[in-house]
Amino acid sequence: MSEGAGPGGAAVTRRGISVLAVLFAGAVGLTALSDALGLRWAEPQRWPTDLLAFADLPMPSRPAVVIVGSSRASMALIPGEIERCGGAAPPDPSAPQVYNLGRAYTTLIEVEQLARGLLSGPRAPRVLLVALDPEAIDAHNPRRPGALRGGLALSDVPGALVEARGLREGLAALRALTRGPEALLRVASGRHRADPRLGWLMRAEGGGQWCTGSPACVDQNLDFKAVMADSWERVEREVLPDWRAAQTPAWAPGAGPIAAAWAGLRAWAAENDVEIVVVELPFSEVWRSAAPPEIWADYADWIDQNVTQQGIPLYREPAGRKGRRADWLDPDHMSELGATGLSRRVCAGLGLPRPAAGG
Amino acid sequence: MHFASFEFLIFLAVAWPLWRLLQARAAAGLRVPALLYLLGISAFFYGCWQPWYLLLIGASTLIQYGVGLALSAAEDPRRRKLWLVVGITADLGLLGTFKYGNFIIENLEAAAALAGQPLSLPRVPGELPVGISFYTFQTLSYIIDLYWRRIERARSLLDFAVYVIFFPQLVAGPIVRAADFLPQLQRAPLDGLAHFGRGLGLILWGLTKKVALADVLHAGVVAPFFSDPTRGGALDLLIALWAANFQVYCDFSGYSDVAIGAALLFGYTLAPNFNRPFWSTTPMEHWRRWHISLSTWLKDYLYIPLGGSRAGPARTDLALATTFLLGGVWHGAGWRFVLWGLYNGLLLVAWRRWGPRDGGGRLRRLGLMALTFHAICLGLVFLHVEDLGGAGAAFGALGRLTAPSSAAPWGLVALGVAVGLHATPTDWRERGLGVFAAMPGWGQAAAVGLVGAVLALFGEWSGPFFYFQF
C-alpha cells in the first residue's frame, strides 16, 4: 500500500491532469483575449512592451522610416540622428518620424512577422530599413528561440511546433501560448508607461537603445551604459568562445523559411507602398575574426543576389573603414559614439528620411 | 533549466503525469521501472545544462558506489580506511579540479609573477559544473556513514544513482543524506491529494519568494549600491546589507521550497533547509537555522571529527574557525569566499568567548537578534563584491553620513514584504499550504497561472538562483 494523505492513486492523477488542463485552456483563452484587445505586442521579449508603446502611439501620418533587425540594429541606429540628418529640423519635434524596432535574435522571419503584424495601415512606414547581420539570414539560427516566442500569433503556434527543430524551438513556440496572461499582467502593471526605457524612449525618441540631442537622452544613455558596463568582457567571456561552435555547424544562409520571409516581406512592402532599404551592420574586428570566412562569404553572396541585384538600396560601410574600440559597447553592439556616426553615414548614404510624396 | 523558468514548468507538466503511471506500479512493489524513470528524467533535467556534466556525475556515482561496495564488504579496519581515503580523494579530487583548479592555477601564476618567474599554466576547461558541490557532499556523506557503519549500503547501483541525481535536490540541495533518502526508495512513494497540494503549493511559494522578492531586492536595492559603492553613504550600505541578507534568504529558501515541493509531487520528502534564521539570538543559532542541510553536514563530517566542543576551548575555537573557513571555500573559488568563511569563523569564536549570552527578557532577545542579524550582514559584503578593493569601497561608505539614495522605492517595498514574510509564524505557512491543498483543481490551476504570469512579468530581472554559483 502506498503511504498517503487523503485520497490517493487515481484521485491525485485526476487532480494533476485537471490542473494542467485548466492551465492550458486558461493560457490559450487569455492569449486569445489579449490578442483581441490589441495587446499582442506586449510580448515577453528582451525589451518587453516597447513595441506596445509603438502600437499605442497616435500616428497621424505614416512614419518616415522604421528600422528592423536584431539587438545590434537597436543599438546601431539612432532614430533621432536619422531624422535630423544633415542638420534638417524634423517637421514636428514632438512626434518622431523615425523608429527603431530592433529586437534581440531577430531573423528575417521575425522581421516579416513584425511587418505584417504591426506595420500595417497608418503604421506602415514610407521606408523600412532592414539592418542585416549574418544571423538574420540563417534559417537555423540557434539563438532564434529567443525571438520566436515574441513574434508568433496564436494561430502560428501549431505550425511553429511542427517546424520546430529541436526542443528549444518547440518550447519557444509553446511559450507563445502563454503570451496572454503575461501581456495582461504586464499592461495592468503599467510598466510600459512608467519605465522610461519601455515607454518614453519610444514615444519621445523613436525607440532603440541610444538617443541624442536632449538632457533626458544624456541621462538615459548614462543609465544604459551603467547597465551594460561589463558587456565587452561578458561577450568575450561567454559568447565568443561558443559562437563558432553554436553558429557554424547548421549555418543555412537564406534557406527555405528565410527565402520565404524575404519574399513575403517584399510582397508586404509592395502591398503597403513601402520602400525597403538595407543596411549591412558593421562588426568589430574581434567579432569578425570569431566567425569563419565562409560565413562572411555566404553572407556577401546573399546580399549580392537578394539586395544589390534586385535594385534594393544598400548601405555598406566603405571598404577599409577601421572602427575604433570606442565605437563598440561590446564586440557586436555599437556604443552611443559608434551608433551616432553610423546613423549619420547611413542617412546620408541612403538619403533618409525621404520626403513624403507631395510634401 | 533552472526552477524559475518556463522550461521547468513544462518539464514538470510532462514528467509528472508519466510518473503517475509508474508510481502506481512502484506502490505495488515494481520499483525498478519507477526508479529507472526517475533516473532518466533527472539525467535529462541535468543534461539540459551541459550534456558533459552527466559524464562527471556518472563517474562520481560509479566510483562512490564501488567504494561503498568495497567498504561494506571489508572487515579489516585498515582496508576500510584505505577505501574511505580512496572515496574521499576521488570526490575531493573531482571538486578540487573543476571548482578550484583554475583558482589555484591563477594564484600560482600570480605568486610566480611576484617572485619574478612568470608562469603560464594550462587551465581546467569548461565552466564550473552546476551542482557539483552538492552531489559530491552527498556521496561523501554516503561513504563516510558507511565507514562509520551508520547506514547500510545502497541496495543497488540504481538506488544509489537515483539518490545522487534525483533532480529536485541535484543542483542546489538540500544536501540529502543517504540515511534519509535511500530508505524512501525501498518503500512506496507517498501518495495523496494532501501531498500533491502541498508539493504544488511549496513550488509556487518558493518561486514567488525567488522571483517577486529576491530578484526585486537584488535589482532594486542590492545591485544599485554594490555596482558602485563609492556613490553611497553609511545608510545606503546598511539598507543594501539588510536587503542582501533577505535577498539570499528569499532566493535560497525559495529554491529549497521548490525542491522540497517538487520532490513531494513525486512522492519523496526532503528535510527543511531553513527555519526563520533571522530570529536567532547568536550567530551559532543562525547557522543552525540557515542552510540546515549544509550546516549539519559540516558539523557532522568536519566540526565533530576536528574535535568539536569536547577537547577544550582552544581546540573548539580552532574547529569552529576551520569549519567555517572551509564552509566559505565550499561556497566558491575566490578570496572573497575565503574571507567570508574566515569572518564567520572568527565571529563565532569571538562570540563564544566574549559575546553576550543567550536568554533574558523579550527586549534583550530582540537586541540580540538585531546584533546577530547585523553581524551576519557585515560578512555578506564579501559575497557581493568582486575583490578586496570592492570590499574596501563598500566599507568606505561607513565614513559618509548622507541621506540614503541608492535604493529604488519598489526595492524598499520588497524589503518590507520580505521582513513581514520572515516574521510570519511557521504554522501560518503550514495553514496556508493546507488551505491551498484543499482547494479544487481549478483554483490550484488559477494559482499556478497567476504565479507563472508574475514570474514572467518579473522575468527580465530574474537571474539564476544565488546558490547555483556555489
Instruction: With respect to residue A166, please indicate whether it lies within any of the assigned structural domains.
Output: no
Mean pLDDT over A4-32 rounds to 81
pLDDT at B468: 41
Report the phi/psi class of residue A86: left, alpha or beta, with left for phi > 0 and alpha for psi in -120 to 50: left
Cβ–Cβ gap A175/B6 under 8 Å: yes
Q: Is B331 a catalytic residue?
A: yes
pLDDT at A6: 56
Q: How far is B340 from chain A (nearest CA, A)?
A: 25
Task: Give the domain range for residue A243.
Answer: 46-151+190-350
Cβ–Cβ gap A181/B453 under 8 Å: yes
Cβ–Cβ gap B10/A26 under 8 Å: no
Predicted confidence (pLDDT) per residue in A241-279, tens digit: 777 776 677 788 878 888 999 999 999 999 999 999 999
Residue whose C-alpha cell reads 580512496 in the numeric block: B86
B402 — phi, psi (to 5°)?
-120, 165
pLDDT at B418: 93
Instruction: With respect to residue A246, please indicate whether it lies within any of the assigned structural domains.
Output: yes
- Describe the crossing of helices B53-73 and B132-147 by its angle, rounded to 10 degrees: 10
**Which residues of B lie closer than 8 Å to A, measured between beta carbons?**
6-7, 10, 13, 16-17, 20, 23-24, 27, 187-196, 200, 227-228, 267, 441-442, 444-446, 448-450, 452-454, 456-457, 459-460
Mean pLDDT over A86-92 rounds to 63
Q: How far apart are CA B58 and CA B63, in angstroms?
A: 9
pLDDT at A143 over 70: no
Residues on chain B touching A188 (C-beta within 8 angstroms): none
Q: Which of A16, A22, A171 sits opposite B20 (nearest CB)?
A: A16
Residues on chain A touching B49 (C-beta within 8 angstroms): none
pLDDT at B464: 44
At A321, is the pLDDT very low, low, confident or very high (cuts 50, 70, 90)?
A: confident
pLDDT at B467: 43
Residues on chain A touching B453 (C-beta within 8 angstroms): 178, 181-182, 184-185
Q: Which of A201, A166, A191, A181 is nearest to A57 (CA)?
A: A201
3-state secondary structure of A330: strand
Q: How far apart are CA B33 and CA B40, in angstroms?
A: 10
Predicted confidence (pLDDT) per residue in A50-62, tens digit: 787 888 888 888 8
Q: Is A26 within 8 Å of A181 (Cβ atoms)?
A: yes
- B26-to-A1, B18, B36, B364 alpha-carbon distances in Å: 10, 13, 11, 53
Other C-beta atoms lying within 10 Å of the C-beta of residue B80? 18
Torsion of CA A327, A331, A333, A336, to 10 degrees: -20
Here the ipTM equals 0.74
Nearest chain A residue (CA) to B199: A16
Better-predicted residue by pLDDT, A118 or A179: A118
Residues on chain B touching A22 (C-beta within 8 angstroms): 441-442, 445-446
Catalytic one of B2, B218, B286, B331 = B331
Other C-beta atoms lying within 10 Å of the C-beta of residue A227? 13
- B6-to-A55, A129, A173, B84 alpha-carbon distances in Å: 27, 34, 12, 42
- Which pairing describes strands A65-68 and A275-280: parallel, antiparallel, or unpaired? unpaired
Contacts of A194 (CB under 8 A, 6+ apart): none
Instruction: With respect to residue A29, please indicate whether it lies within any of the assigned structural domains.
Output: no
Q: Is A299 within 8 Å of A134 (Cβ atoms)?
A: yes
Q: Is A350 within 8 Å of A277 (Cβ atoms)?
A: yes
Instruction: With respect to residue A143, please indicate whether it lies within any of the assigned structural domains.
Output: yes
Q: How far is B302 from chain A (nearest CA, A)?
A: 36
C-alpha cell at A121: 495601415
Q: Is B211 within 8 Å of B454 (Cβ atoms)?
A: yes
Interface test with B, best of A2, A50, A167, A223 (most B CBs within 10 A): A2
Type of residue found at B45: F
Q: How far apart are CA A40 and CA B315, in angstroms?
A: 66
Interface test with A, best of B6, B102, B448 (most A CBs within 10 A): B6
Instruction: With respect to residue A254, please indicate whether it lies within any of the assigned structural domains.
Output: yes
Q: What is the pLDDT along chain B (470 residues), one digit of tens a residue?
A: 778 777 888 899 899 999 988 887 777 777 888 999 999 999 999 998 888 889 999 999 999 999 999 999 998 999 999 999 999 999 999 988 888 888 888 888 888 888 888 888 888 877 778 888 899 999 999 999 999 999 999 999 999 999 999 999 988 878 999 999 999 988 888 888 888 999 999 999 998 888 888 888 888 888 888 877 777 788 888 898 999 999 999 999 999 999 999 999 999 999 999 999 999 999 999 999 999 999 999 999 999 998 887 878 888 889 999 999 998 888 877 888 888 899 999 999 999 888 888 777 888 889 999 999 999 988 888 887 777 777 787 888 788 788 777 778 888 899 999 999 998 888 898 899 999 988 888 889 988 888 877 777 665 444 444 444 44
Taken in order B201, B206, B208, B211, the sign of the CA dihedral is negative
pLDDT at B143: 95
Cβ–Cβ gap A12/B191 under 8 Å: yes
Residues on chain B touching A45 (C-beta within 8 angstroms): none
Predicted confidence (pLDDT) per residue in A146-183, tens digit: 555 556 777 878 887 887 777 777 887 887 787 777 77
Q: How far apart are CA A51 and CA A206, in angstroms?
A: 11
Contacts of A105 (CB under 8 A, 6+ apart): A46, A70, A71, A135, A141, A143, A144, A145, A146, A147
Q: How far is B364 from chain A (nearest CA, A)?
A: 42
Range in A185-194, A198-207, B267-276, B428-437 the model is least confident about: A185-194
pLDDT at B103: 85
Mean pLDDT of chain A: 82
Instruction: With respect to residue A218, please indicate whether it lies within any of the assigned structural domains.
Output: yes
Q: Which of B193, B442, B449 sits opposite A6 (nearest CB)?
A: B193
* Number of separate domains in chain A: 1
Q: How far is B1 from chain A (nearest CA, A)?
A: 11
Residues on chain B touching A15 (C-beta within 8 angstroms): 193, 196, 441, 444
Residues on chain B touching A185 (C-beta within 8 angstroms): 453-454, 456-457
Rg of chain B, C-alpha, whole Å: 23
Cβ–Cβ gap B189/A2 under 8 Å: yes
The full set of domain ranges for chain B reads 6-188, 194-281+358-464
Cβ–Cβ gap A8/B192 under 8 Å: yes
Q: How far is A155 from chain B (nearest CA, A)?
A: 20
